[in-house]
Amino acid sequence: MPLPERIVLVGPMGAGKSTIGRLLARELGYRFIDSDRLIEERCGANIPWIFDVEGESGFRTRESNILEELSHETGAVIATGGGAVMREENHACLRRGALIVYLKTSVDQQFERTRRDRNRPLLQQEDPRAVLQDLFDRRNPIYSRLADIVMMTDKKSPRLVVRQLLNRI
**Residues in the annotated binding site for substrate:** 36, 60, 82, 139
Q: Report the residue from 4, 16, 21, 81 that binds ligand S3P according to the rule CB under 6 A.
A: 81
* Residue in the shown chain whose Cβ atom is closest to ligand S3P: 81
54 burial (CB, 10 Å; 0-12 / 13-18 / 19+) is middle
Strand spans (E) along 80-167: 98-104, 149-152
- Distance from C-alpha of 146 to C-alpha of 95, rounded to nearest angstrom: 8
Q: Report the residue from 7, 13, 28, 33 that binds ligand S3P according to the rule CB under 6 A.
A: 13
- Distance from C-alpha of 134 to C-alpha of 107, rounded to nearest angstrom: 10
Q: Please identify, using beta-carbon distances, which residue of 2 and 89 lies nearer to ligand S3P.
A: 89
Binding mask 101-140 for ligand S3P (x = CB under 6 A): -------------------xxx------------------
Angle at 24 between CA 145 and CA 155, to 5 degrees: 70
Sites for ligand S3P among residues 16-55 (CB under 6 A): 17, 36, 47
Binding site for ligand S3P (CB under 6 A): 13, 17, 36, 47, 81-83, 120-122
